[in-house]
Structure 1
């Protein structure tokens, strides 16, 4: 497993998580994991290096998103599967309306995708488009609250209370919230997930 990002602090957190999983015996004995820092427009990996890739909440940050998509195609092996996630159109549109800071800060979101636009760009690169779904509906109100009270205002009572709720939900996964999120995901899921396949017998687009 390789965790790839441009942010050294995020990679350090991932490395700590990997180490904790090994210490707790939560990772298979033969499993290997590493972190790599780099640019999504020119990843330091060989062509076809990976059979599976997850690109989670990346392309909305990159001005030249199609170049990053092409490099994702390059490092995926023929026949390989990728899962790409970006913020869903409606929840993201509300966030932009509530807070200019949310999308104008350094490294912030530079575009809002419709699923049709995302899939069209990926298809133009050469990917075969598979199924999709929405996820993380319970996270959407949290970001609406954050945008309303200030994205850096972590101590606001409402934001702090909702954050505690999300942490409790992640750790406990109670049936009631799992059912509620499944029902809400198609409506206000924070992310849309699109599954892709790289055809066999083709080079990077």
Structure 2
């Protein structure tokens, strides 16, 4: 239904990007913690990249690019899920959170370089890009 609505409102020649949790890093989170995937507003579904790509292409949109993002975030969430997603008293998790906040707010060369390596290997998200043909 969502893909049909996107197809309906996307103008001819328009570009559509979809970012969803990547299957295997997300599956680890689900395996480690029931709380993680039962959180209101959280991830309720895990897509396989090929299934999502096919669903969008079946609506007539053309795939043209993909990339992986948030490679540095996967280990953080694995830690959170292992110790309890609601716990805020675990030193290792809190230190890693500060590391991610530093990355987000300052974008230092060190973390940008690490992300370039970690993204393709264990990026928490996959981003797929599509275009809609001319009318």
The two structures have a TM-score, normalised by structure 2, of 0.93
Which residue number corresponds to residue 17 of structure 1? Answer: none
Structure 1 gap segments, 5+ residues each: 1-66
Give the CA deviation at 1:105.
3.2
Q: Distance in 1 between matches of 2:40 and 2:101?
A: 27
In the TM superposition, residue 109 of structure 1 has moved relative to its aligned partner by 2.6
- Aligned residue in 2 for 1:51: none
Q: Distance in 1 between matches of 2:42 and 2:107?
A: 30
Structure 1 match to 2:87 = 153
Do the aligned partners of residues 106 and 176 (structure 1) sit closer, same or farther apart at CA in structure 2, a change above 3 Å counting? closer
Instruction: Give, in angstroms, the shift of residue 150 of structure 1.
Output: 1.3
Partner SS state of residue 11, structure 2? strand
- What is residue 87 of structure 1 aligned with on the other side? 21
Alignment partners' CA distance in 2, 1:155 and 1:85: 31
- Matching residue of 1:98: 32
Q: Distance in 2 between matches of 1:73 and 1:124?
A: 10
CA RMSD in angstroms, aligned pairs only: 1.3
Aligned counterpart in structure 2 of residue 195 of structure 1, from 112, 129, 135: 129
Q: CA deviation at 1:113?
A: 1.4
Output one character per residue of 1:52-94: Cα deviation in whole Å (capped at 9) or x when no partner.
xxxxxxxxxxxxxxx0111111111111001100011111111
Greater Rg over alpha carbons, structure: 1
CA distance in 2, matches of 1:187, 1:76: 32
The answer for the alignment partner of 1:74 in structure 2 is 8
Give, in angstroms, the shift of residue 181 of structure 1: 0.9
**Does residue 144 in structure 1 map to residue 78 in structure 2?**
yes
Higher relative contact order (CA 8 A, sep 6+): 2
Alignment partner, residue 182 of structure 1: 116
Q: Which segments of 5 or more consecutive residues in structure 2 lack a partner in the other structure?
A: none
Tell me, in whole angstroms, the C-alpha distance in 2 between the residues paired with 1:139 and 1:108: 15
Instruction: State the SS of the aligned residue for 1:163.
Output: helix
Q: TM-score, normalised by structure 1?
A: 0.62
Cα displacement (A) at 1:106: 3.3
Corresponding residue pairs, total? 135
Q: Secondary structure at the match of 1:131?
A: strand
Cα offset, 1:151, TM superposition: 1.3
